[in-house]
Structures are given as C-alpha cells and as structure tokens.
Amino acid sequence: MSDPLARWEPTARDPFDLAKVGHLLRRAGHGAPLRTRRELVRAGLDAALAFVAPPPAEAAPVDLLLREAIAFADADRVRAYRVWLVLQGAHPLRERTSCFWHDHFATGNQKVQDPRAMALQLATFDRLGLGCFDDLLRAMCRDPALLRWLDNDLNTARQPNENFARELFELFTLGRGAYGEADVREAARCFTGWHVRDGVFHLQPHLHDGGPKRLFGTHDVRDGDDVVAAVVARPESARFLARRWLQWFVHPEPDDADVAALAAVYERSGRDIGATLRTLLQSRLFFAAAAWRAKIKSPAEFVIGTVRLLGARAAPTELAVAMASLGETWLEPPSVEGWHRERAWLSPAAWLLRSNFVADLLAGRRGKLRPSPATWFAGVDGPAQQARAAVLLLLDGELDRDGQQHLEAVARAQAGAPPDIAAAAVLHAATCLPEYQLC
C-alpha cells in the first residue's frame, strides 16, 4: 500500500472534484475552460486522462500546418505557431511534454540560425516525445538543430569536439557524476562525422573515427547509435529522467524514494515515456497534498493558461511577445541548461509585468481577447457571486475565506461600473492572489 505510484482512487471524503481536474489539467496541459473542467468532473478520472492524452488516432496531425508555419523561415512565426498549438489544446499532454523536451534538449535559434530546423525539432518532440526514449534520443542525435547547437558540425576524427557528447551525458541522460571524462572522450569519437548538410543530418564516413572505443569501462561501441543504446540502459539514466519528470509534473524537490519508484516504472515499461507519465498522472503521489500548487507557473503556463482557463480566444503572436517579456522566449533558452524555473521566474518586477499583462489582456489593450470579460459574469449578480465566479474560473473554486472576502471587496468597489470593467477588475484581482501564480 506504500507504493507512491499506485493508482489514486477517489473516496467519498476525497472525491474527484473540480480541484483535482484543475490540478491534472494544469500539470498535464495548460488548463481548460470551466465547462470542460466540469464535464470531466462528471466523467471521472479515466475520461480526464483520455482528455489530456487522447489515443493517437483521435489527435489532430501535429504537423498539419508546419509547412505553412515555416514558409517564411521566421523564428517569431514558429514561436507563435507553437503558442497557437498549445492554445488549441488538441492534445494537452503532448504539447506539455514537447515543452518539457524543449527545456530538456534546450536549443537556441540565436546560434542555430535556422528557424525551420527549430520548428522541425519541436515537431519531432510532438511525434516522439511520448514514445520510447530510445527512439527520441536517437532522433535527437540526428537532429540538425541540436547537432549545430552543440558544435557537432565541428566534431571530426582529426579534431574531436566533445561538446555534444558531454551534454548528452550531463544534461540529456545521466547527470553530473554518472560518467567519467574518458566516457566523454570516447562518446565524442563515436559522434565524429555526424554532421549537418543542407539542413538535414549527414553522415560523413571519411570524418568518422572508426577505431575501437569503450564506454563505462565495459561497452564496446562504434558509433552514436551504440552510445544511445548503452546510455539509455544505465540505471542512472532512468533515475535522471524520473527526477526531471517529477520536478516538472509533481514537485520541484522530489523524494529519492519517489524517484526510484518512477525510474522502476519507466524501466518496466520498456522506457515508454507516455506509459510512464500516464502512470504518474493517475498516481497517489500526483494527487497528494504535497504536490498541490507546489510549483510556480512559468510565463507560458501563466499567459497561455489564463486564456485557456477563461475559454477565450487571443492572438498567439502577442502572447508570445508577452511570454518573452516575462522571461520565456521559446526557441531561445537562456543556456544549454534550459530555463531557470520555479522561483527564478518571479521577481517583484516580473510579478508587476505579469499583473500588468493580465490587466491589459482583460481590458482589450493587448492580445485581442475575445469575448469580452463581462461574458463570463453573465447571469452572475452581486459581489459575492462575482467573486465566486472568478474563483471558479481561475482557481477551480479553491480559495480561503480571507481571499474570498478580499475579492468580494474588489467586486463591491466596482458597483455601478460598466459590466466589462467590473468583470475585468474582479478577474484581474483574482490573478493577483498568490495561489494564481502557482501551478
């Protein structure tokens, strides 16, 4: 009974309610309109899981508009297209997981200088991000953007460049301390000649080091695929990925025991990412109190999430600009380590920018929000009901009495104001509650 990853079962005292649905959608997606959330409460946990991760056949083809999105080879456009995909939310878990892999294999266009290659890398995450990790890693070792980003272009038998091999171990699979300098050197030799030509992966046999190489003291390897096969099978790799998934989906500081448990699930599944995450998302660990609002929303979660919670429509180009001003520019991670998350997102100045973004969005000054705020308060009368409606929309009905009273006071002060202005004020105030910054 102590298995943290055992399936969570609702009870009369702890039912599958709006708060549970909200938690699942925030972590496994970017939120959803209140109507959808209420339907999922009625439909139950399995239906909710099917909603965030529909079977592949039902999901719209991800690269439907990829051809058009990269026609101008413009990074801003690719960014806006990604925001649009997430806003549409056809496959919440996949979009969420692609964000995870973008942070994990953090690649920046500033150096790659090829927005098309960047868009194709993200499309690879959409395609393989919930499949077998072996396949994803093999694809990443041939990904033109990543190879260029980590200088594998310059990696030749004559002059090996260790950048790619080092990050492969340190950032993508094992973590610091789980490999030696000799392993980096040997792996780098395996990737010699794995280059990019005309925007596609190109193997240059004459630049490849064909000599014998040995990894981790035991594995004889020849090329990059051998390195992938050797590294994914390491128990350190399972633990490294499990820790990152727990940090991303459950709690920023996971327990070692939980890491070990999730690593075991991953290994048993045959390194199936989707199966592992689905187990995680219906686990007791996931629905435990410790996970509740334990993370700070990233700018994407804050900006896109707000539009999705309202069930509104907004301009992806403008949302992408807002996210960038809050410190999250997709396609441009600050470093190879991805974004500095959690508390690093939020300084007083960043809090002001977030709050002002919501004010501008609700007032129609930015983002082309449709419909107007009063729509959400249709049929809602009086400050108490307005406060409750805002808390249902934005916080799944979860707010203590003090917060509720403060929100009512805001609503009372709007008595007599035009409906859109009053609604905008109450909704804006709800986003100023500390709970709203938490994911």
Partner 1 sequence: MVRRLSVLATLWLGGVVGTAAAQADPSPLLALVPDDAVAVVVVAAPVPLQRALAALVEPLPAELPDELRAQVGLGLVALRRALGGPVGAWLEGVAGGGAVLAWRPAATGPRWWGALRPTDAAAAAAFCDARLPGVRRTLRDGLLVLGDDTAATTGRWPRTDLAARAAVTVGAVAAVDLAALRDRFGGAALARQDARTFALAPIVHALQHADWLQLQWTAAGDRTELVATAAAAWPQATVVPVAAGAPSFEVLAALQLDRDVAALLREPERWLDADGVQAVRSFLSIADGLDGPRSSFVDDLVAQLPAPWSLHVLAASPGDADDDAPPIELPEFVLSAAVADERAVAVALRAAGLLATIANAERAQRGQAPFLVRTCRDEQGHGLCAEPPPWRGPGAPPTEQGLSPTLWYGGGRLALASTQRAARLVCSAAALPGNGPGDRLVLCGPLLARAITANRDVLALARMLDEGEDAAVAQRFVATFAAVADAIAGVEVAVTQDGAATRIALTAERRR
Partner 2 sequence: MLNEPSPPILDRRAFLQLCSALPFVQPRDLARLVPAGDDRVLLVLELVGGNDGLNTVIPVDDARYAAARPTLAAVRRGAHALGDGTALHPALGRLHRRVQDGQGAVLHGCGYPAPDRSHFRSRDIWHTAAPLLPRVDARTTGWLGRAAEQLAAATAGPPAVAVGGLEVPLLLRSERVAAPSVRRVEDFQWLSPATAAPIEAAAPVRRLVDGSGTRGGAVRDFVAATAQQAAALADQLTQALRGYRPRADHPATALGRDLQLAAQLTVAGFGTRLVHASLGGFDTHARQLATHAALLAQLDAALDAFLQDVAAHGAGDRLVVLVHSEFGRRVAENASQGTDHGAAAPVLVFGAVRGGVHGPVPDLQRLDDGDLVATTDFRCVYADLLQWLGVDAAAVLGGAFAPAGVAAPR
Nearer to partner 1, 69 or 410 (CB): 69
**70 interacts with, out of partner 1, partner 2, none, CB within 5 to 8 A per kind:** partner 1
d(CA 212, CA 381): 77
Residue 275 near residue 322 (C-beta atoms within 8 A): no
Please list the residues that pair with 202 across neighbouring strands: 195
d(CA 79, CA 10): 39
**363 interacts with, out of partner 2, partner 1, none, CB within 5 to 8 A per kind:** partner 2
d(CA 149, CA 73): 18
Residues 204-263 that bind partner 2 (CB under 8 A): none
Nearer to partner 2, 259 or 424 (CB): 424
Closest by CA to 354, choosing from 290, 421, 299, is 299
Question: Min. distance of Cβ 368 from partner 2 in angstroms?
Answer: 15
| Residue 159 in contact with partner 2, rule: CB under 8 A | no
| Residue 202 in contact with partner 2, rule: CB under 8 A | no
Q: Reduced to 3 DSSP states, what percent helix, strand and coil does the chain have, rounded to the nearest 5?
A: 60, 5, 35
N-to-C CA span, the chain:
28
| Residue 335 in contact with partner 2, rule: CB under 8 A | yes
**346 interacts with, out of partner 1, partner 2, none, CB within 5 to 8 A per kind:** partner 2
* Residue from 358, 390, 391, 393 binding partner 2 (CB under 8 A): 358
Contacts of 66 (CB under 8 A, 6+ apart): 81, 119, 120, 123
C-beta neighbour count of 2 within 10 angstroms: 7
**68 interacts with, out of partner 1, partner 2, none, CB within 5 to 8 A per kind:** partner 1
| Residue 368 in contact with partner 2, rule: CB under 8 A | no
CA distances from 296 to 124, 252, 283, 343 (A): 27, 9, 21, 7
CA distances from 24 to 27, 92, 125, 262, 292 (A): 5, 10, 21, 18, 10
Burial code (b: 16+ CB inside 10 Å, e: under 16) for 292-322 equals ebbbbbbbbbbbbbbbbbbbbebbbbbbbbb
Residues 40-59 that bind partner 2 (CB under 8 A): none
**156 interacts with, out of partner 1, partner 2, none, CB within 5 to 8 A per kind:** none
Q: What are phi and psi of 303, to 5 degrees?
A: -75, -55
Q: DSSP of 161-198, one letter per residue?
A: --HHHHHIIIIIIS-TTSS-HHHHHHHHHHTTTEEEET
**205 interacts with, out of partner 2, partner 1, none, CB within 5 to 8 A per kind:** none
Nearer to partner 1, 360 or 435 (CB): 360
Nearer to partner 2, 279 or 431 (CB): 431
From residue 111 to residue 130, the character string flagging contacts with partner 2 as x (rule: CB under 8 A) and all else as - is: x-------------------
Nearer to partner 1, 148 or 428 (CB): 148
* Residue from 39, 63, 135, 360 binding partner 2 (CB under 8 A): 360
Residue 376 near residue 423 (C-beta atoms within 8 A): yes
Token pair in block for residue 270:
């045959």
Q: Tokens 């660990």 correspond to what residue?
A: 285
- Candidates 194-202, 264-272, 312-320, 331-339: pick the segment binding partner 2 (CB under 8 A): 331-339
**199 interacts with, out of partner 2, partner 1, none, CB within 5 to 8 A per kind:** partner 1
d(CA 317, CA 322): 9
Size of the site for partner 2 (CB under 8 A): 54
| Residue 346 in contact with partner 2, rule: CB under 8 A | yes
| Residue 38 in contact with partner 2, rule: CB under 8 A | no
Residues written for the chain: 439
Nearer to partner 1, 125 or 169 (CB): 125
Nearer to partner 2, 276 or 298 (CB): 298
Write out the residues near partner 1 by the rule CB under 8 A: 64-73, 77, 80-81, 84, 87-88, 113-114, 116, 120, 144, 197-200, 313-317, 368, 370
Closest by CA to 34, choosing from 312, 288, 250, 316, is 312
Nearer to partner 1, 68 or 253 (CB): 68
Residues of this chain that bind partner 2 (CB under 8 A): 108, 110-111, 149, 293-296, 325, 327, 332-336, 340, 343, 346-353, 355-356, 358-360, 362-363, 365, 400, 402-403, 406-407, 409-410, 412-413, 417, 421, 424-425, 428-429, 432-435, 437-438
